[in-house]
Amino acid sequence: MKHPNLFIQIFSTISILFVYLSLSQINAQESIGNNLSGTIFNVTKDSLSDIKIPVTLTQYPIDNSPIITKVTSIDGKFQFNNLEMNLVKFSIKATYQKVLYEKNILLDTSFLEPIELLIYETTSELKGLKIEDETMVITGINRRYSTMGILQSIKVSNTTNQTFLPAPEETGPMGLFRVSLLPGAENLEVQTSLPTGGHIIQVNQGVALTLPIPPGNHEFIIIYRTSYFNETLSYDRRFTLPTSIFRIMLPVNLGSIISESMIVGSTIKIGNTNYLNFTASEKTTEERLQAVFFNLPKKTFIEKLLNFTEKESIRQLAIPITTGIVLISFLGIRLRKFIKIKKNESSQRDDKSLEHSLLSLDSEYTKGSIPHDRYIRMRKDLKDQLSKLDKQEY
């Protein structure tokens, strides 16, 4: 009877030990799963970072999640412990040579540790940059105000292993990354995938960017508005970077473009709009391109009048001008009445004078003072004058 008890004791001991070891393993897995480790790799030097760099971990959503900052070790390694894994994503950020580098980690997809954040040495030389595609789309034209909306998309590539970082204090404005816009550009809005840390400056013929451009392909979009005059708009530019493709897309039936440097391609349909497609290829630095928009929508007379009345100076003068017009019209009516009365008075005086002359003529003829032929002729002249006066009165 002792053997069954011994068996029960051994089985209980083994069961307790198994549960203990399982719980320990689960806790260990949870501990490992709540940690995030990574390295900072300098691509230009082809090695892990050899200096200590602060690394920031942002947990999303960030309402109640702390932003944690760690400093890498001398060999470029970092680790964050005891993280909450019920979040949407993490963001790893580090700033090196004034350039912010970032890597986002989505928790709904698998990722491998260590996380690798790439950094680069910087250069202020433009020679490694190239425009792969630049497209200028005329999104619409307001005929009444002679304005057009433009969306300009630029895809730029950095083919080097260094981040382009403008240094205008060394290179001057010509060392900035510049984009040519249509003349008179206003109401600019810029959207970009480039890292933050710079500025977008509007210059005479376009915009200049002081944003850093890391190796790889990047895209940004510029939305703006410009005006045209007399149904035309001239565009003259010099390419600041080698450009593979430059195109202008203008909606069909809203005008056309003439340019010796561009060819007319097949019509492109975007949504419900068909666009004329004007293209130039493989343009080199400093190469010039000229284009003229013509036959753009012309405002009607009514639209010109409405635009004229919208001017502030005209609105300020509207009341006195209207008052003056009414006053002049009133005076004009009174003046016409006055002139008519005077004419009638003059006609009446002339009538009496002619009638008196006619009676005198008859009297002289009766006395035999005037020959018959002369009398007939003079009487006819007086009758004609009386007839004219009668007609003028009516």
User: Which tens digit of pLDDT belongs to each residue from 50-70?
Assistant: 888 999 988 877 666 678 888
Q: What type of residue sits at position 392?
A: Q
**For the ranges 13-17, 78-82, 176-180, 388-392, which has the lowest average pLDDT?**
13-17
Q: Which two tokens stand for residue 345?
A: 């008075």
47-48 and 147-158 beta bridge pairing: unpaired
User: Which tens digit of pLDDT belongs to each residue from 298-352?
Assistant: 887 776 676 566 666 555 665 677 777 777 877 777 777 766 665 655 555 555 6
Q: What is the CA radius of gyration of the chain?
A: 46
User: Which tens digit of pLDDT belongs to each residue from 136-166?
Assistant: 999 999 988 899 999 999 999 999 999 999 8
Answer yes or no: is pLDDT of 246 > 80: yes
How far apart, in whole angstroms, are the C-alpha atoms of residue 225 and residue 138? 10
> Taking residues 252-266, what's their average pLDDT?
94
Answer yes or no: is pLDDT of 196 > 90: no
How far apart, in whole angstroms, are the C-alpha atoms of residue 185 and residue 180? 10
Output the pTM of the full model. 0.66
If one compares 382 and 14, the residue with the highest pLDDT of the two is 382
Answer yes or no: is pLDDT of 197 > 70: no
If one compares 160 and 358, the residue with the highest pLDDT of the two is 160
How far apart, in whole angstroms, are the C-alpha atoms of residue 45 and residue 39? 14
How far apart, in whole angstroms, are the C-alpha atoms of residue 119 and residue 48? 10
Q: Which two tokens stand for residue 310?
A: 């919208």
Hey, where are the domains in the chain? 1-31, 34-119, 128-301, 312-393
Looking at residue 206, what is its pLDDT?
87
Given this chain, do its domains 34-119 and 128-301 carry the same CATH topology?
Answer: yes
Answer yes or no: is pLDDT of 21 > 50: no
Q: Which two tokens stand for residue 362?
A: 């008859």
Answer yes or no: is pLDDT of 23 > 50: no
* pLDDT bucket at 82, cuts 50 / 70 / 90: confident
Looking at residue 241, what is its pLDDT?
94
Looking at residue 224, what is its pLDDT?
95
User: Which tens digit of pLDDT belongs to each residue from 224-240?
Assistant: 999 999 999 999 999 99
If one compares 87 and 184, the residue with the highest pLDDT of the two is 184
> Taking residues 20-32, what's their average pLDDT?
37
User: Which tens digit of pLDDT belongs to each residue from 35-47?
Assistant: 788 999 999 999 9
- Structural fold of domain 34-119: Immunoglobulin-like (2.60.40)
Could you tell me which CATH class the domain 128-301 is placed in? mainly beta
Query: Cβ(175)–Cβ(167) under 8 Å?
Result: yes
3-state secondary structure (DSSP) of residue 317: helix
What is the overall mean pLDDT for the chain?
80
Which residues, 6+ apart, have CB-to-CB distance to 163 below 8 Å? Answer: 97, 99, 120, 121, 122, 123, 212, 213, 214, 215
3-state secondary structure (DSSP) of residue 243: strand
Structure-derived torsion over alpha carbons of residues 38, 116, 101, 164, reported in degrees to the nearest 10 = 140
